[in-house]
Amino acid sequence: MLMLDNSGTFAYSDHAIRERAGLVKSLDMASLWQSCSALISKVLPCHSCSLLFDIDGYQPNQGRHLLTEGREDGVRLATSLDVAAPYLDANPRIRWYTFSQIASQDAHASDRLKAQNPTPGWREFIHFAFWEDSRLEAVLSIRILHDHGDLTESQLSFLKDLYYLLDASLQRIRTLESERTRQSALESLLYDLPLATILLEEDLTPCFVSQEARRLCRRWSDDFDKDDALPRAIEEPLRQWLEASAGSRDLPLGKSSLVIGHHHRPGHRLRVEVSSSPAGNARNSRHLLILAPDVDDDSVVDASSPRVLPLLNCLSPSERKVAALVAEGLRNEVIAQRLFRSRKTVESQISSIFRKLNVANRTQLARLLN
């Protein structure tokens, strides 16, 4: 009978301390399994072990396996929980159990084991069950060598410590994976929106750049794609502005804006909307930038408006520029000159814009986007 609740404290040897530390620090399933399997093989008389997770009912969709050296070829490693399923139904939220415990309550357990693996090469398995509320989240299966006797008190103490270490690590990884999923979904959404958006670390290194921002940055710097940094024509004046703001009492922690002129291209100006996260000073903040070419007259189209964004998202990047200029009341000849396109191209794009936004004329388009 596996009795972990009454076990003492396990003293780790020097050669197992590193693996334990790796388990404590693991940030994903791959690093967790690497440290966990190495630790088990150093401490226990282990035939093989498996970590089964992403469990639907009692059917694992993913798993990691270790077969220790010197074992026979062709051994089958557990990829299902069929042997333990009735026991888990009868003992909800149980944390650990053995095959002997299952067999003592279930006369058909041995038959299910033989159907799964007629010659397993081990005499006992120990299962750790990890739960998220009432859902079985993961199972660690440790198979003990066939010729080994009962586990010692020290080994039982190790198992108890391992359970709580692994439980905490799985919870940490679950939280991190949930955050990564949310961040990935948000980035995917922002990437395709018709907004030139950049999220900067405190040292002004971009950690997210939308598709529209990449296009705009390429026009300001030919080497933007090379080092994935802000173009110098944007980074230098922004840094100076933040440093000047840091020296004043009023830090730019709300929405602030500045207009940047290009060093080598007269007439090229960029309006930068800056939103900074709260911090002790601007140097330690994260900064969200929304970039837009600056014109002499304020644009009548607010591309960041929740009402306008879905409309612009229906258009191609080239069509968005034409639509904004049409909404400002510019004639086709002026639009063609400003965008360096032929009048025929502009007229074709305007027809496409009308069709996509379901408007009949320029007046309706201006009302829709204003």
- Please list the pLDDT of the chain residue by residue as tens digits (370 residues): 566 666 667 788 877 898 999 999 999 999 999 999 999 998 998 889 999 999 998 899 999 999 886 655 556 677 889 999 999 999 989 999 999 999 999 999 999 988 888 777 788 899 999 998 889 999 999 999 877 778 888 899 999 999 999 999 999 999 999 888 888 887 787 777 777 889 898 889 898 888 888 878 887 775 554 556 888 888 889 998 888 877 655 544 457 888 888 777 676 788 888 888 755 444 457 888 988 876 544 455 666 666 777 788 788 878 888 888 888 888 898 888 878 788 899 999 999 999 999 888 888 888 888 7
Residues in the chain: 370
- Helix 343-357 crosses helix 317-327 at what angle (to 10 degrees)? 90
Burial class (CB in 10 A: 0-12, 13-18, 19+), 274: buried
Three-state DSSP at 115 gives helix
- Distance between CA atoms of residues 52 and 63, nearest Å: 4
Which pLDDT value is given to residue 232?
86
Which pLDDT value is given to residue 194?
73
Alpha-carbon Rg of the chain, whole angstroms? 31
Among 304, 305, 318, 289, which Cα is nearest to 209's?
A: 289
Which pLDDT value is given to residue 86?
94
- Distance between CA atoms of residues 49 and 64, nearest Å: 8
- Helix 14-25 crosses helix 153-192 at what angle (to 10 degrees)? 30
Which pLDDT value is given to residue 248?
57
- Distance between CA atoms of residues 234 and 216, nearest Å: 11
CA torsion, ordered 338, 340, 344, 350, to nearest 10 deg = -50
Which pLDDT value is given to residue 117?
80
CB 173 within 8 A of CB 32: yes
Three-state DSSP at 152 gives coil
**How many CB atoms lie under 10 A from the CB of residue 312?**
22
- Distance between CA atoms of residues 274 and 268, nearest Å: 19
pTM here is: 0.60
As given in the structure block, the two tokens for residue 238 are 């922004």
Say which residue the tokens 């509320």 belong to: 133
Amino acid at 356: K
